[in-house]
Amino acid sequence: MQPRGGGDRAAVRKGPWTAEEDEVLHQHVREHGPREWSSIRSKGLLPRTGKSCRLRWVNKLRPDLKTGCKFSSEEERVVIDLQAQFGNKWARIATYLPGRTDNDVKNFWSTRQKRLARILRAPLPRRRPAAAKHGGGGGVGATSSSAATNSHEAAAARASEAQYRCFGLIPFQQTTTRQHRIGESSQEPPLAANQYADAPFSGAESVLPFPPGFAAMDVAAAGCSSSYGAASEVHRPLPFLYASGSAPTVDPGGLFVDGNALIDGGVGVAYLEPKPEPEHYLEPKPEQRTPPRFFGLEEEVDDYGLVVPVRRGAPDVLFDDLPPEMINFFELPLPPSPSARL
């Protein structure tokens, strides 16, 4: 940490800002407006670079910032939607969120991505019997004829159908999210052929709506590497689901599944081909920036003259997006952890 003061222009201070520095910066903005950042240092007002001063102002001192409050569900929806539309254009996305900075959006998205990645990496339950004891095995591909399991399957099938109905309303668009062919990754070993030989989605290339942040490899790896007995963590449902037609769906527990295999370990995998983005999608003119409808959101024109999705009476959580069958499904008891069964 550099000592403050001293008048040495070469000494650039880094690290956290002090209240005194903030006040100097405020004073500068009051006198000159939010510009001429470099002059702050050249005049010896602060031993900070112009970039650092600007960043501090934009991300922390600007008076119109929402500080100390987390992203609302509405803001989450907007970010998710716009990220799918614009990619990682955080500054652009932030313009749709008054009081939020590009850094806020970026951090929010980063956190969300990490969470999703962790969920997808983690071992997940392949089925969730209501009460049946897990009898020695029950790993991937195991089947069960128990009434309990069938009940879950039925619930899952209903949930899946509900997803299809629900998501049929959503205009999926290709995102800029990285996409893999199955087994292609520098991070994960390729899947053995027999791990996805039965994948039923080989024809889904053109319609598969990969959710932002998901990668086929990750999903498949998570599903194929997990075993029922290894599940030890209760994952919250993801706040959104994607589906279309006969393409795979994402189960809120984080597995990428098809409607038939939701319960019993048949993890759906997909083979993606890059798809040219629609013209309007690449460079929307301002009047064309119409985020896709999202779960019945209404739309309105914001302060920037842009059409944005708006939900009346926004809830605090996103689970109301899920069909009741799905909520019920995830309320079902999870299998005991390995330690609990010992």
Partner DNA sequence: AACTACGTCAACCGCATGGCC
Partner DNA sequence: TGGCCATGCGGTTGACGTAGT
Structure tokens at 330: 């995830």
Q: Does 14 help bind DNA (rule: CB under 7 A)?
A: yes
The C-alpha atoms of residue 260 and residue 207 are separated, in whole angstroms, by: 19
* CA-closest candidate to residue 104, choices 66, 49, 53: 66
CB of 336 to DNA, least distance (A): 13
Pick the closer one to DNA by CB: 86 or 201. 86
CB of 120 to DNA, least distance (A): 12
CB of 206 to DNA, least distance (A): 26
DSSP characters over 152-174: HHHHHHHHHHHHHHHHTTS----
The single residue among 28, 54, 128, 180 that binds DNA, judged by CB under 7 A, is 54
Q: Does 333 help bind DNA (rule: CB under 7 A)?
A: no
CB of 263 to DNA, least distance (A): 25
What is the residue whose two structure tokens read 């599903």?
A: 223
Pick the closer one to DNA by CB: 114 or 133. 114
What Å distances lie between residue 173 and 35, 110, 294, CA to CA?
A: 38, 21, 12
The C-alpha atoms of residue 4 and residue 8 are separated, in whole angstroms, by: 10
CB of 15 to DNA, least distance (A): 5
Q: Does 187 help bind DNA (rule: CB under 7 A)?
A: no
Q: Binders of DNA: how many residues, by CB under 7 A?
A: 40
Pick the closer one to DNA by CB: 48 or 289. 48
Binders of DNA among residues 60 to 79 (CB under 7 A) are: 60, 67-68, 70
The single residue among 24, 45, 91, 230 that binds DNA, judged by CB under 7 A, is 91
Residues 34/57, Cβ–Cβ less than 8 Å: yes
Q: Does 88 help bind DNA (rule: CB under 7 A)?
A: yes
Pick the closer one to DNA by CB: 43 or 165. 43
Structure tokens at 219: 């999903």
Binders of DNA among residues 118 to 147 (CB under 7 A) are: 118
CB of 19 to DNA, least distance (A): 11
CB under 8 Å to 118, separation ≥6 — which residues? none
Q: Does 36 help bind DNA (rule: CB under 7 A)?
A: yes
Q: Exposed, middle or buried by CB within 10 Å (0-12, 13-18, 19+), for 285?
A: exposed
Q: Does 312 help bind DNA (rule: CB under 7 A)?
A: no
Q: Which residues of 142-167 are buried (b: 16+ CB within 10 A; e: fewer)?
A: eebeeeebeebbebbebbbebbbebb
Q: Does 89 help bind DNA (rule: CB under 7 A)?
A: yes
CB of 165 to DNA, least distance (A): 30
Structure tokens at 200: 């039923």
Pick the closer one to DNA by CB: 28 or 128. 28
The DSSP H or E segment spanning 150 is helix 147-167
Binders of DNA among residues 207 to 226 (CB under 7 A) are: none
* CA-closest candidate to residue 173, choices 254, 83, 108, 110: 83
The C-alpha atoms of residue 307 and residue 330 are separated, in whole angstroms, by: 34
Binding region for DNA (CB under 7 A)? 13-17, 35-38, 42, 48, 50-52, 54-56, 58-60, 67-68, 70, 88-92, 102-104, 106-108, 110-112, 114-115, 118
